[in-house]
Amino acid sequence: METLILNTNTPRRLAAAVKAAAGELADGQCVGLPTETVYGLAADALRPDAVTQIFEAKERPFFDPLIVHLPSREWLGVVTKIPDESRALVAALVAKFWPGPLTLVLPRQAIVPDIVTAGLDTVAVRMSAHPVFSAVVEFYGRPLAAPSANRFGHISPTAAPHVMSELGGRIPLIIDGGPTQHGVESTIVKVDSGELTMLRAGPVTPENLGEVFHALCESRNYRPTEAEVEHFYERLGVSFAKMVRGEDNVTMVAPGQMDSHYAPRTPLRLIAPGVQVEIYSGENEAAARLGSLAFCEPSTASSHFVCEEILSPTGDLREAAATLFAKMRHLDEAGLDMIIAEQVPEHGLGIAIMDRLRKASA
C-alpha cells in the first residue's frame, strides 16, 4: 500500500487534507493524524472492521484498549454512562481541560464496540485541541479511536516523518500538522465513585487536577481536611506535602500500563544527573558506542559519548517533554550500544517525562 502524506500549511491544503482523511475513515481505513500530544492512528471508533485495521497496522495486541476521541462534548453522554456521584467532577474536568490532553476512563455505553475497550466495561475518552485533529473529527462527525501512530512497543511519534517510518506502507494516509506541542501522551485518569485515579501521567499534572478538586470544594462551601487533600493527591500518585515543598514526589508508578511501551530498540539506562558513567570505561565497555540523553546540560562524562541530545538547554520541563521522543528516536537510530539518560526533576511535567524514561529503560 502506498502511504500519502498531506500538508496542512495553508487553509486550502488543510481543507483538502481534512476531506481526504474523512474519505479514508468513511472507507473503514485508518489515518495518521496529529494531536497536541503525539501523532495518532485514527479509525471510526464505532466500526469494529475499521478499528481492526489499527491493531493490524500497529501489531498491537487486542487486550490493549484504545482511547476514543470525541467530535464534541455532546458525545460524552453517547459513549459513556456517568454515575450520579461522578457527575460534578466529570463536568468540572471537562469544563477545565477539554479540548486538551486529558483522557477520562468512565463506564461505557453499549454503542462502543468490545474491540475498542478490550472487553472492559469502561471506555477511555478524550477531546483533542489540535486544529487538524479536531477539524477531521468534527468534519467526520463520529468518534475516532486513535492510539499513538507507532508499531506496538515503539516510541510514540511526535512528527509526521516518524509516522511514515513506523507505518509507511501499512496505512493509506498521514496528515502532517508539524511537530506536536506536548510531546508526551495524554494524562489518563479513571473516574470512579466520584474519585480520580491516575492511570498515566501526562501534560495535565496532579497540580492541575488539584485545582479542580479545590474549586469543587469551594463551590460547595466545603473546606477539605488535610487528610482529604492528601488522599486526593495520593490517588494521583503524588504526595501533597512534598508537592508544596517542590520536592520530587512520586509515590507510585502508574498502574495498568504495559512496560514494553515507549521502548527504543537500543538499551537505555537511567542515571542521576552528574553521575559519572565509569562502568562503561572498563576494558570490555571501552569500545561500546554510547549516546547521552541529558536534561539541561551536556554530561560531565561527555568524552564517552558518540552523540548527545539535550532535552532543554534552559531546564524547561515543557520543552523537555515536547522534544523527548524525537530525541530518543534520533539516538535510537544512531547505531548505539546504549543510551544513557539523565533523570529529570520529578514534579509537574517531570513526572510524565520520568514515567516515559523508566518505561524506556525497562
Provide the binding-site residues for ligand AMP, judged by CB under 6 A.
64-67, 105, 117, 120, 122-124, 147-148, 185, 188, 199, 256-257
# residues near Mg ion by CB under 5 A: 1
Q: Is 340 left (phi over 0), alpha (psi -120 to 50) or beta?
A: beta
Distance CA 353, CA 328 (A): 12
Q: How far is the CB of 147 from Mg ion (least distance, A)?
A: 5
Q: How far is the CB of 304 from ligand AMP (least distance, A)?
A: 34
Q: How far is the CB of 344 from ligand AMP (least distance, A)?
A: 21
Judge whether 265 and 166 are in contact, CB under 8 Å: no
Judge whether 157 and 56 are in contact, CB under 8 Å: no
**Closer to ligand AMP at the Cβ: 254 or 340?**
254
Q: How far is the CB of 148 from Mg ion (least distance, A)?
A: 3
**Closer to Mg ion at the Cβ: 148 or 299?**
148
| 295: Cβ contacts below 8 Å, ≥ 6 apart | 273, 310, 311, 312, 315, 320, 342, 343, 344
Interacting span for Mg ion (CB under 5 A) from 4-12, 142-150, 197-205, 340-348: 142-150
**Closer to ligand AMP at the Cβ: 187 or 239?**
187
Q: Which does 105 bind (CB under 5 to 8 A by kind): Mg ion, ligand AMP, none?
A: ligand AMP
Binding mask 146-185 for Mg ion (x = CB under 5 A): --x-------------------------------------
**Closer to ligand AMP at the Cβ: 4 or 129?**
129
Question: Peptide bond before 99: cis, by omega within 30 degrees of 0?
Answer: yes
Phi, psi (5° rounding) for residue 269? -115, 130
**Closer to Mg ion at the Cβ: 148 or 312?**
148
Under rule CB under 5 A, which residues in 320-349 are in contact with Mg ion?
none
Distance CA 35, CA 134 (A): 8
**Closer to Mg ion at the Cβ: 164 or 301?**
164
Task: Return the closest-CA partner of residue 163 out of 328, 31, 336, 17.
Answer: 31
- Starting at the edge strand found earlier in the chain, the sheet holding 290-294 runs 268-271, 338-342, 290-294, 305-310
Q: Which does 67 bind (CB under 5 to 8 A by kind): ligand AMP, Mg ion, none?
A: ligand AMP
**Closer to Mg ion at the Cβ: 155 or 250?**
155
Distance CA 23, CA 26 (A): 5
| Pair type for strands 173-176 and 31-34 | parallel
Q: How far is the CB of 311 from Mg ion (least distance, A)?
A: 20
Distance CA 347, CA 355 (A): 11
Q: Which does 66 bind (CB under 5 to 8 A by kind): Mg ion, ligand AMP, none?
A: ligand AMP
> How many residues does the structure list for the chain?
362
Amino acid identity for residue 207 in this structure: E
**Closer to Mg ion at the Cβ: 332 or 342?**
332
Q: How far is the CB of 87 from ligand AMP (least distance, A)?
A: 19
Q: How far is the CB of 58 from Mg ion (least distance, A)?
A: 8
Q: Which does 199 bind (CB under 5 to 8 A by kind): ligand AMP, Mg ion, none?
A: ligand AMP
Q: Cα(first)–Cα(last) distance of the chain, in Å?
A: 34
Q: How far is the CB of 247 from Mg ion (least distance, A)?
A: 30
Q: E strands of 45-99, at which residues?
A: 67-69
Q: Which does 123 bind (CB under 5 to 8 A by kind): Mg ion, ligand AMP, none?
A: ligand AMP
Residues that bind Mg ion (CB under 5 A): 148
